[in-house]
Amino acid sequence: MVGPPIPEGFDERALAFGVRAELRGLSRARAEQVAAHIWAAGQLIDEDPQLAFEHAETARQLAPRLPIVREAAAETAYAAGEFAVALREYRAIRRMSGGDELIPVIADCERALGRPRDALEVLAGLDSKQAPLTLQIEALIVEAGVRADLGQRQEGLRLLKSALGRNAGPNQARARMWYAYADLLLAEGDEAGAREAFVEAAELDRDGLLDTADRVAELDGVTLPESFADEEPEDEPAAEEEQVAEDKAPADDEFDDEEIDVEGIEDDEAIADVESAEEPIVQDEEVADSVQEPLWGLEPDTNSATGTTEEGDRA
């Protein structure tokens, strides 16, 4: 099996230790092939998800029994919009490893395939009493999107607004809730409310993982350039540049970070059980045949299968 060519710069040592450990059960030659394709998938998943998926699929065919390979196939399939494949792989991973961590993304795949009621059934399997707060939030975000697909957008807004009012969860999780809330407000035609929600998401998204700036600019009718990297600075005398830098230098205390107070918040008050909803499911609602785009992209709390760093905290 050949598969797509490996990009230049491959170094097996760049793979996470856990990935290399799983590959030790293969022959040396096979392990090198699988490692190269997993590495390539990780390098390409953001810039070319489809090609990343092809690399991951090649690795899966070479070593179909390795969980790390199935994870790479699932993540790249999800990123490439190959939701049927992603669903198959995520379900296989859950059978192998157990646990509820993949329930939100499995439900989101069902939703993306136009099966919102199946998505709700998957979400109902999450034990809200045992699930970590971040996992409950991810499930809630998916349910809000599912409710919107079923014609229950107000119920989706209610779920998100209630959770946001508790101010519970880490910053990035709350940023994602605000983003989902903004999307639903925008679908309701409330552009002013959506803009405010996108701004709230941006303030919590300290790592810049969400495209909130683009969404706000779009609402404001502003077109942002794709990159400022190609703009060359004007030539200025070195002395003048130093003087400008000194004039603009801020005081030391201008960068003091404000801490968001989340003390006193307990996990068990976080999110209502995803099985409950005040509004009944609309009867005789026809689910659209077209594939729905997922509302969110799951960021698990463990290293990605395609990660290239040592074990640390991956999303």
Q: What percent of the chain has pLDDT over 90?
A: 61
Question: Residue 5 corresponds to which tokens in the numbers above?
Answer: 């060519």
The answer on pLDDT for 194 being more than 90 is yes
Question: Are 52 and 6 contacting, i.e. CB atoms less than 8 angstroms apart?
Answer: no
pLDDT (tens digit per residue) in 136-160: 999 999 999 999 999 999 999 999 9
CA–CA distance, 30 with 295 (Å, rounded to integer):
37
Q: Counting beta carbons within 10 angstroms of the beta carbon of residue 68, is it exposed (0 to 12), middle (13 to 18) or buried (19 or more)?
A: buried
- Enumerate the domain spans of the chain: 1-82, 128-225+263-277
Six token digits for residue 230: 């190609």
Q: Is pLDDT of 173 > 60?
A: yes
Can you give the pLDDT at residue 129?
87
Question: What integer best gives the mean pLDDT of the chain?
Answer: 79
Which pTM value belongs to this model? Answer: 0.70
At residue 253, the pLDDT reads 44
pLDDT digits (tens, 9 = 90+) for 255-297: 344 333 333 334 444 343 433 434 443 333 433 333 343 333 3
Residue range 213-230: average pLDDT? 78
- Token pair recorded at residue 241: 């540049």
CATH superfamily label, 128-225+263-277 = Tetratricopeptide repeat domain (1.25.40.10)
Average pLDDT over residues 294-309: 38
The residue among 225 and 180 whose pLDDT is bigger is: 180
Single out the residue of 266, 271, 314 nearest to residue 143, CA to CA.
Answer: 271
Max CA separation in the chain (angstroms): 74
Residue 121 is predicted with a pLDDT of 97
Residue 13 is predicted with a pLDDT of 82
Q: Cβ distance 68 to 308 under 8 Å? A: no
